[in-house]
Amino acid sequence: MPRYASSIDVARLAGVSQSSVSRTYRPGASISAETRRKVLAAAEHLGYRPSLIPQIMLNHRSYLVALVIGGMYNPFYARVLEEFTIQLHATGHQVLLVHVESGHSLDSVIPRLAGYRVDAIVSALAVLSAEAAAALAAFKIPVVSFNTPVKNEWLTSISSDNSAAGAEIADLFIARGARSFAYVAGPKGSPASDDRLKGFRDRLAAHGCGALQVIGGEDFSYETGRDALVKILRDGGPPEAIFCANDLIAIGAIDAVRSRAGLHAPEDFLIAGFDDIAMAGWTAYDLTTFVQDARQMVSETVRVLQAAEGAREQLNEIRLVLPARMIERGSTRREPDR
């Protein structure tokens, strides 16, 4: 096993003190340009890389942020991961990627997080239970998660206005002449999926449209949408308008209806999703959807973390709800008298 060069080795080769080596790698430390040049030259020659451990022990900060993510089959999460990495690096943080099997909840990964010395935890997945929120609060570091229904003094939730989006798509379906409706949900207990359903159902009821077929899924995947529409077709045929918990589900639904019944949107039915993944804009799908602005959600997350770092205290139960913007494409664009 190779022996790594130490700060003592660098100091000896550079002809400086060990404390000079430490100051060279400490942001804002006072050191002459000539000494810095000698240290960096010696470090390059020896292949020396400073360890974060002494810094952690000295000021109790690692500048590491645990980024918890799952459901990477969904392109939305890939976009979130990239945005988190870019913006956290820009603020001087390093990302520690922690994978969780769930595509919608980080509750199961909390015991593993206890073993990491991180300054904050951020996640595109929700915290679902008060017990999980309390366990995270026990770390006494800022925690930010998307679409989280519970909160406490250390936990911030950032979400799109899922309920308002559900209401808006109900209005659009009715304006386009639809009279029968279905919602294809994500996994049971997902706050985002449940809120989209609530907004959709409540607005349909306000329009006097009481009948709504709801089919639950195991996850937010293409297969969930495909299997849901296979079941609907087996039971008699598609409704006139279908709202799906996300774009992947909607794309699976579109393919199922095309391949099994030869029906197409918007001529035979209307359909919409959520997230505005790249595939939603492909000609084959031309899917009406909602932009869940990953960049803005991540920017708000980073802003919250920086505020908490500056104050060195808890977050005081922050919950931010950002608007979701509808993009209407061909899957709903038809005259209401059809």
157: number of Cβ within 10 Å: 22
Model pLDDT, residue 41: 92
Q: Where does the pLDDT of residue 103 fall: very low under 50, low under 70, confident under 90, or very high at 90 and above?
A: low
Give the whole-angstrom CA distance, residue 268 versus residue 255.
14
Most confident range, picked from 60-64, 91-95, 232-236, 318-322: 232-236
**Please, are residues 180 and 212 in contact by the beta-carbon 8 Å criterion?**
no
Model pLDDT, residue 149: 78
Model pLDDT, residue 316: 60
Q: Burial of 283 by CB count in 10 Å (0-12 exposed, 13-18 middle, 19+ buried)?
A: exposed
Structure tokens given for 262: 């030869």
Give the whole-angstrom CA distance, residue 171 versus residue 93.
43
For residue 1, pLDDT beyond 50? no
Question: Domain 162-292 adopts which CATH fold?
Answer: Rossmann fold (3.40.50)
Tell me if the bond preceding 111 is cis, omega within 30° of 0: no
Residues of the chain with CATH 3.40.50.2300: 59-160+294-323, 162-292
CA torsion through residues 233, 163, 150, 125, sign? positive
Q: In what order do the strands lie in the sheet with 319-322?
A: 94-99, 64-69, 120-123, 143-146, 155-160, 319-322
Q: Where does the pLDDT of residue 102 fall: very low under 50, low under 70, confident under 90, or very high at 90 and above?
A: low
For residue 280, pLDDT beyond 80? yes
Q: How far is CA 337 from CA 27, 175, 176, 177, 332, in A?
A: 67, 10, 8, 6, 13
H/E run at residue 286: none
**Percent of the chain beyond pLDDT 90?**
43
Q: What are phi and psi of 329, to 5 degrees?
A: -120, -165
Q: Where does the pLDDT of residue 54 fall: very low under 50, low under 70, confident under 90, or very high at 90 and above?
A: low
For residue 262, pLDDT beyond 60? yes
The CATH class that applies to domain 59-160+294-323 reads alpha beta
Average pLDDT over residues 231-237: 89
Structure tokens given for 88: 């956290």
Give the whole-angstrom CA distance, residue 130 versus residue 94.
29
Average pLDDT over residues 29-36: 87
Q: How far is CA 20 from CA 9, 58, 75, in A?
A: 12, 16, 47
Residues of the chain with CATH 1.10.260.40: 7-50
Tell me the CATH number for domain 7-50.
1.10.260.40
- DSSP code, position 323: P
Model pLDDT, residue 52: 57
For residue 49, pLDDT beyond 90? no
Question: Which stretches within the chain are classed as H helix?
Answer: 7-14, 18-24, 33-46, 53-59, 75-90, 110-113, 130-137, 162-175, 191-206, 222-234, 247-261, 294-311
Give the whole-angstrom CA distance, residue 196 versus residue 209.
17
Least confident of 155-159, 228-232, 283-287: 155-159
